[in-house]
Homo-oligomer: A and B are copies of this chain.
Amino acid sequence: MSDAGRTLRFEIVARAAGPARCGVLHTRRGAVETPVFMPVGTAGAVKTLHPDEVRALGYSLVLGNTYHLMLRPGAELVAALGGLHRFMGWDGAILTDSGGYQVFSLQKIRRIHEDGVEFRSHIDGGAHFLSPERAVEIQRLLGADIMMALDECPPHDADAAYHAASCQRTTRWATRCLSARGQHGGALFGIVQGGLDLPLRRAHLDELAAMPFDGLALGGLSVGEGPERMAEVVADVAPRMPPERPRYLMGVGEPRDILMAVSAGIDMFDCVLPTRNARNGSLFTRRGRIQIRNSVHARADRPIEEGCACPACRRFSRAYLRHLYLSNEILGHRLNTLHNLHFFAEFMRDVRRAIREDRLAAFAAEFLSEFEPPVSDRREA
């Protein structure tokens, strides 16, 4: 593995029984404790929040979406304005995805060639082209601290031949991404595909692990296959990923899935769940989700969660948050987002502490017994 342009150092600081570990990602823009959850800043903003609020919640690494930013305002424009950090006023670290996931999953009109992918913008229908070289160039223009290689992300129910061909293409594209990165440096992660086929996943992992990526990700999961089938893949593949490099499970997610994946040795996560749920009025508590619009909260003079230190719970009642939600007041989206991201930050802190204290399994069981109790035990949080 070449050390050329190495701008990311991963340090493992604690191990529990099994593959779970605590680490520190030393990025160009500061240290990030792992396992880490990255809030999604789709279009140059973690939706509804000021970057100082994201930082105050305890986050030091956010995800930016190459797909959205390449279409609007455009990578060259962001670069001319000093890069994404300066553009969005965020001095923490940024990981950008490659744009591939959105191109493959969201676009009806696209054509995949060996050279790259043609697609049309969902904003104005304009024609665009994303190749491995262009994906790296865009992420470099944005100024990402961690870049992702362009992969082909097939539907989980594609046939075996498609998955196999897709892994081969992803490997060829990975090589091209590394070449494109080579001349400029910068941290770059490869993405393991292979659907739900364990031998294919392992073989693809072996190919990518032999390349000088700074970290490896599992892609093509959390795309509708269901938590059990995802868990089978993660439990098998994650422990085989090179232990000295960070391991990233893309698009996850649910607390139960994070616990499962951390136990299998995953270090990094991203998901729109806390922010999107917030805007839909679905709020996380230790005893499960509540729907703030429900009439049971109409007169509730208590916070979302007693004892929660988030800016919403420190000042406002469920009754007020329900009122803001029903009135479609933007402040409601903000306060809900602050609460849910605070919940995830605290959850990841608890996860890291449990690993350090080597009681991850007990913590996971205790957490889930409250958060997702057996149906017979459930009552309104």
A residues engaging B (CB < 8 A)?
43-45, 47-51, 68, 72-73, 77, 80-82, 87-89, 298-299, 301, 311, 315-317, 319-320, 322-324, 326-327, 329-331, 333-335
Contacts and interface: CB of A to CB of B under 8 A. Distances in A.
A44 B335 CA distance: 14
B45 A89 contact: no
A365 to B, nearest CB: 37
15 contacts: A43-B324, A43-B327, A43-B329, A47-B330, A68-B327, A72-B323, A72-B326, A73-B298, A73-B326, A77-B299, A80-B301, A81-B301, A81-B317, A87-B317, A89-B315
A76 to B, nearest CB: 10
Contacts of A301: 80-82
A320 to B, nearest CB: 5
A298 to B, nearest CB: 7
B298 A50 contact: no
A48 B330 contact: yes
B80 A49 contact: no
A131 to B, nearest CB: 25
Contacts of A311: 50
A45 B82 contact: no
Contacts of A77: 298-299, 319
A315 B44 CA distance: 14
Contacts of A88: 320
Output the residue of A45, A48, A316 with the most chain B CB within 10 A: A45
Given A87-B317, A88-B320, A301-B81, A327 B48 contact: no
B72 A320 contact: no
A316 B85 CA distance: 11
Contacts of A319: 73, 77, 81, 87
A297 to B, nearest CB: 11
A299 B80 contact: yes
| Interchain residue pairs A-B with the least CB separation, the first 8 | A89-B315, A48-B330, A43-B327, A45-B331, A73-B323, A45-B329, A81-B301, A330-B330
Contact of A331 (B47, B72, B320, B327): B47
Output the residue of A80, A322, A327 with the most chain B CB within 10 A: A327
A266 to B, nearest CB: 30
Given A311-B50, A331-B50, A44 B299 contact: no
A316 B81 contact: no
A75 to B, nearest CB: 13
A296 to B, nearest CB: 14
Nearest to A324: B45
A77 B318 CA distance: 13
A165 B177 CA distance: 79
Given A44-B329, A68-B327, A77-B299, 19 more contacts: A43-B323, A43-B324, A44-B320, A45-B324, A45-B329, A48-B331, A48-B334, A50-B311, A50-B334, A51-B315, A73-B298, A77-B298, A77-B319, A80-B301, A81-B299, A81-B319, A87-B320, A330-B334, A334-B334
A89 B316 contact: yes
A124 to B, nearest CB: 11
Given A81-B299, A87-B319, A330 B333 contact: yes
A324 B51 CA distance: 14
Contacts of A49: 331
Output the residue of A47, A72, A73, A82 with the most chain B CB within 10 A: A73
